[in-house]
A and B are shown apart, each in its own frame.
Chain A
């Protein structure tokens, strides 16, 4: 099957700053794909190149097998939901949604019908006559979605689509976006700096750092088997143990990551199970989170490990107080080796 999007060794520099450093990427049709990374990591540049707002210095971009590297945005079958939504303030909501049809010369009656249908799809049927400034953030977001989808693009690009929404709305929209994507079967590519958002929505995630892709994997793989120190610390809340500290703890000269929930707390005198890595330390603090508790244990001068304890499993933290000495243990295969 022809990939929906293919980037081949694309590079883009702004002056001396390399925003995107020879990135190659293949996105399958119908995939929900996330570009995840901190600000300045190159993820937005990557999206802008796919949309055509910017051209790479070198490398090629293929859409549905066709080279579009130098094709202007209006000639690409790709539509974008902008971070600030970029709704036209001088048009009504319905006119905004119908804009893509209008510039393609679709007759007024026809485009009014399609715009109404699109607005129904995003549950804004009654809002067609309003102006964008009369809508809430979440509603504007849905107008931007409807406007981008009316052209029936092969690919929908979303730039930090939920960044401007409050937490509750963001969770609602996550589910809505995911549902919409499954119903329409369009390839969605979205940029985010929120790892939770990426993990919950995407089929696959490319983690960007300093203009490169650190790791490209499914959310599950990314969470459970991070490959680099950067990915382990950016995705989820793993303990990342650097090379020096790892040598002291395990004897191996390799950085690793371990999830707080995979570290056991040994009772006094209880021996570690066979083959487990064991260490001791002093409790720095204990935080009660309701369903679980989290304590941080300093195991050597520079290394503090977070340990999660499920309250339900009887593993409460009663009696564990700041300053107490405890012993920790984990299975070696739970520690994920990392590249620096």
Chain B
């Protein structure tokens, strides 16, 4: 009915309707999708090695450069592994929190939890990242805490692990991982809590009524119905990690990430085509991720 009403608009009404829709459509179409398309277009250009000028001719040279240089592959794999680890950790930590918020907390506690989850998002992102560098520094609060808990040995052992370890938490991938998880956790908790809140209590009762133990109800009913929320949350944590360039440059080991590469190539290096090609990587990865999630039935309950 609503659809028909829209199409049967006539004359003056249609004019006003168009007028009303024009700004958002222009915004979405030109400013947003348009610039994205320009970016994609850039990635099919290449830079002239001698003049350092962009040659506006269609070529796959930039992509060849992106996918054949081992250093570039390293960057992509490193970023992908970090994004995957962060997403998994965020999901594991967020699920119990979201479940408690949605199903068990009273109205007061629930409000408190929502504020608690969102409050960190109201603070400056840079301040938080730099604060974390201090927390994780060699003489920082984290190592002080480990020392006083008598866990210094464990920390040293963790930092001694090749690749992910390092001289201190602040200069290791472990530290970077911790900061990433902290930063994106709210983006996982909120959609998950929303999805869990939409599950009617009667479904859980029906499951128990039919003989399912709590664990079976969780596996067969709660988890599948929370999957859309989990998918939404993981798209946030996954894509935010794939694109971020501040956390890897402030905390952690010196290895490059995709975001840093984009920043460097379009800034100091002036290689806009390569920067564009690099920024296509997260788009492709997320596209693949969505296809996978869909195939696994993450959106069946929608």
Binding site for B on A (CB under 8 A): 51-53, 72-74, 78-80, 82-84, 86-90, 99-100, 102-104, 147-148, 151
- Among B205, B211, B212, B213, the residue within 8 A (CB) of A53 is B205
CB distance from B222 to the nearest CB of A (A): 11
Alpha-carbon gap, A210 to B102, bound state (A): 32
Interface of chain B residues 270 through 302 with chain A (CB within 8 A) = 297, 300-301
Binding site for A on B (CB under 8 A): 200, 202-203, 205-213, 216, 220-221, 224-225, 297, 300-301
B205 contacts A99, C-beta separation under 8 Å: no
Residue of A nearest to B300 (CB): A90
**Contact residues in B for A104 (Cβ distance below 8 Å):** 211
A74 contacts B213, C-beta separation under 8 Å: yes
**Contact residues in B for A82 (Cβ distance below 8 Å):** 202, 205-206
Beyond the given pairs A84-B200, A88-B206, A100-B210, 15 more chain A to chain B contacts, judged by CB atoms under 8 angstroms and listed by A's residue number, are: A51-B205, A73-B208, A73-B209, A74-B211, A79-B210, A80-B206, A80-B209, A82-B202, A82-B205, A82-B206, A83-B202, A88-B207, A90-B225, A99-B207, A99-B210
CB distance from B107 to the nearest CB of A (A): 15
A147 contacts B301, C-beta separation under 8 Å: no
**Contact residues in A for B301 (Cβ distance below 8 Å):** 89-90
17 A–B pairs (Cβ distance < 8 Å), ordered by A: A53-B208, A72-B208, A74-B209, A74-B212, A74-B213, A78-B209, A79-B209, A86-B202, A86-B205, A88-B221, A89-B225, A100-B210, A103-B220, A104-B211, A147-B206, A151-B210, A151-B211
Alpha-carbon gap, A79 to B224, bound state (A): 23
Alpha-carbon gap, A73 to B213, bound state (A): 9
Do A147 and B210 contact each other (CB < 8 Å), given the known contacts A88-B221, A90-B224?
yes
A86 contacts B213, C-beta separation under 8 Å: no
B211 contacts A86, C-beta separation under 8 Å: no
A103 contacts B210, C-beta separation under 8 Å: yes
**Contact residues in B for A148 (Cβ distance below 8 Å):** 209-210
**Contact residues in A for B297 (Cβ distance below 8 Å):** 90
**Contact residues in A for B203 (Cβ distance below 8 Å):** 86, 88
**Contact residues in B for A78 (Cβ distance below 8 Å):** 209
Alpha-carbon gap, A73 to B210, bound state (A): 8
B211 contacts A100, C-beta separation under 8 Å: yes
CB distance from B204 to the nearest CB of A (A): 9
- Among A73, A88, A89, the residue within 8 A (CB) of B205 is A73
CB distance from B296 to the nearest CB of A (A): 12
CB distance from A118 to the nearest CB of B (A): 13
**Nearest 3 CB-CB pairs, A to B?**
A100-B210, A86-B206, A86-B202
Alpha-carbon gap, A79 to B209, bound state (A): 6
**Contact residues in A for B206 (Cβ distance below 8 Å):** 80, 82, 86-88, 147
**Contact residues in B for A52 (Cβ distance below 8 Å):** 208-209
B208 contacts A74, C-beta separation under 8 Å: yes
Residue of B nearest to A54 (CB): B205
CB distance from A70 to the nearest CB of B (A): 14
CB distance from B105 to the nearest CB of A (A): 18
CB distance from B19 to the nearest CB of A (A): 38
CB distance from A156 to the nearest CB of B (A): 11
Residue of B nearest to A103 (CB): B212
CB distance from A193 to the nearest CB of B (A): 18
CB distance from B22 to the nearest CB of A (A): 36
Alpha-carbon gap, A52 to B225, bound state (A): 24
**Contact residues in A for B225 (Cβ distance below 8 Å):** 89-90
**Contact residues in A for B221 (Cβ distance below 8 Å):** 88
**Contact residues in B for A72 (Cβ distance below 8 Å):** 208
Alpha-carbon gap, A151 to B207, bound state (A): 12
**Contact residues in A for B208 (Cβ distance below 8 Å):** 52-53, 72-74
- Among B200, B216, B224, the residue within 8 A (CB) of A103 is B216
**Contact residues in A for B212 (Cβ distance below 8 Å):** 74, 99, 103
